[in-house]
Amino acid sequence: AQSVSQHNHHVILSEAASLELGCNYSYGGTVNLFWYVQYPGQHLQLLLKYFSGDPLVKGIKGFEAEFIKSKFSFNLRKPSVQWSDTAEYFCAVNAHPSGTYKYIFGTGTRLKVLA
Amino acid sequence: DTAVSQTPKYLVTQMGNDKSIKCEQNLGHDTMYWYKQDSKKFLKIMFSYNNKELIINETVPNRFSPKSPDKAHLNLHINSLELGDSAVYFCASSQGPGTGGTGELFFGEGSRLTVL
């Protein structure tokens, strides 16, 4: 069965620190990869996605992620975080071996940025 | 203009009651979903419909029954509510890139259900 692991459950950083959140998935076939952000009390919003092509993808608000196929990883990065980045971050995988789109989410990483 | 809208946003009810949550999307997507987010923020897929046809039905109690009257609507009815049903329920929609879409999920704002 497909699964997504996010190793960091809680991360606390000071403003201007660099961020890297890990995401690994288990599925041997073609996958589409996503990072979503959920600000307190809000719904999930797309940060970035990878379908094919350049494995380094850039998203909104200065976030980027790198797909490393050999490591089954899709880590999220931001060079300098801001207080407003405080949120829950979810990695998701969409594997569709039979044509059915099933989006599997990781358990989330809670990021707190200290002003 | 809200893309994926859910009603109600908040539900507080007693154990044993029946309740429904409605979802509508105006994005023209062909696939809709229900996700449950528990108190630890874990997101678990419950159901998915493609063009009104049920395509994903995860291990969910029979008390939960989805209904899709058309591809723009997906409702969730819950019978005999239990304490463990307390959660935030998110509706989402998508359109695959192979059919002219962008492939990501668009989420509604969630419906917070509290069972007392």
pLDDT digits (tens, 9 = 90+) for B78-113: 999 999 999 999 999 998 777 777 788 999 999 999
The predicted pLDDT at position A109 comes to: 96
Query: Two tokens at B30?
Result: 């062909």
The predicted pLDDT at position A8 comes to: 87
Give the contacts of B76 (CB within 8 A, at least 6 positions apart): B20, B21, B23, B34, B46, B47, B64, B65, B66, B89, B91
pLDDT below 50 — which residues of chain A? 98
* Structural domain for A61, as ranges: 3-114
Going along chain B from its start, the domains and CATH numbers come out as 4-110 (2.60.40.10)
Report the residue of A5, A8, A43, A112 to disrupt the B interface, i.e. the one with the largest count of B CBs within 10 Å. Answer: A43
Residue A16's CATH number: 2.60.40.10
Domain count, chain A: 1
Q: Which residue of A has its CA nearest to B89?
A: A43
User: Distance between CA atoms of B31 and B52, rounded to whole angstroms?
Assistant: 8
Cβ B97–A43 below 8 Å, yes or no? no
The predicted pLDDT at position A100 comes to: 59
**Closest Cα partner for A78 from A13, A4, A8?**
A13
Give the pLDDT mean for B39-58.
Answer: 89
